Structure 1
Amino acid sequence: MSLHIPVGVPVHFNLTSPDVIHSFWVPALGGKTDVVPGRVNQMWLMADKPGVYRGQCSEYCGSEHAQMGLYVIAEPRADFDAWRAAQQARALTPTAPDEGFVQFNVHCGKCHNVRGTMAQGDKGPDLTHLMSRSTIAAGMLDNNIGNLSGWIAHPQGIKPDALMPDIALSGPELQSILSYLKTLK
Structure 2
Amino acid sequence: MKTAPLEYLAHAAGPASEPTQQLEWALIALVSAVVIIITVLLVGAIARRRPGARTDRVGAESVGVRWIYVGTGISTVALFAALIYTMVTLESVASPHREPGLTIDVTAYDWWWKVEYPDPDNPSQSFATANEIHIPVGVPVQVKLRSADVIHAFWVPQLAGKTETIPGQINEQWIEADAPGIYRGQCSQFCGAQHAHMAFEVVAEPAAQFDAWRRSQAQGAAAPAAPDAIAGKRIFNDRCAGCHSVRGGGAAGMQGPDLTHLASRRLIAAGQLTNTPENRLDWIEHAQQLKRDSLMPSMPLSASDATALSAYLATLQ
- Segments of structure 1 that go 5 or more residues without pairing to the other structure are none
The aligned counterpart of 1:157 is 289
How big is the shift at 1:84?
0.6
Of 224, 246, 264, the residue aligned with 1:94 is 224
- Segments of structure 2 that go 5 or more residues without pairing to the other structure are 1-130
How big is the shift at 1:146?
1.2
Q: Number of residues paired by the alignment?
A: 185
For 2:156 and 2:271, the matched residues in 1 are separated by 14
TM alignment of 1:62-81, pairs within 5 A: 62-81=192-211
For 2:181 and 2:300, the matched residues in 1 are separated by 40
| TM-score computed with the length of structure 1 as normaliser | 0.96
TM alignment of 1:31-110, pairs within 5 A: 31-94=161-224, 98-110=230-242
The aligned counterpart of 2:274 is 142
For 1:124 and 1:58, the matched residues in 2 are separated by 21
CA contact (8 A) 1:16 1:40 kept: yes
Root-mean-square deviation over aligned CA pairs: 1.3
- Could you list the per-position Cα deviations for residues 86-112 of structure 1 after superposition, in whole angstroms to 9, with x for gaps in the alignment? 111110123688211111100111111
- Could you list the per-position Cα deviations for residues 1-52 of structure 1 after superposition, in whole angstroms to 9, with x for gaps in the alignment? 2110001111111111111111100011011100111111111111111111
CA contact (8 A) 1:22 1:61 kept: yes
Which aligned segments of 4 or more residues in structure 1 are displaced greater than 6 angstroms? Answer: none
> How much identity, in percent, do the aligned residues show?
52
| TM-score computed with the length of structure 2 as normaliser | 0.57
Of 258, 263, 268, the residue aligned with 1:126 is 258
For 1:141 and 1:7, the matched residues in 2 are separated by 26
For 1:131 and 1:117, the matched residues in 2 are separated by 15
Higher helix share: 2
Task: In structure 2, give the amino acid aligned to 1:70.
Answer: F
For 2:290 and 2:303, the matched residues in 1 are separated by 18
For 1:2 and 1:117, the matched residues in 2 are separated by 21
The aligned counterpart of 1:175 is 307
CA contact (8 A) 1:153 1:174 kept: no
For 2:270 and 2:258, the matched residues in 1 are separated by 13
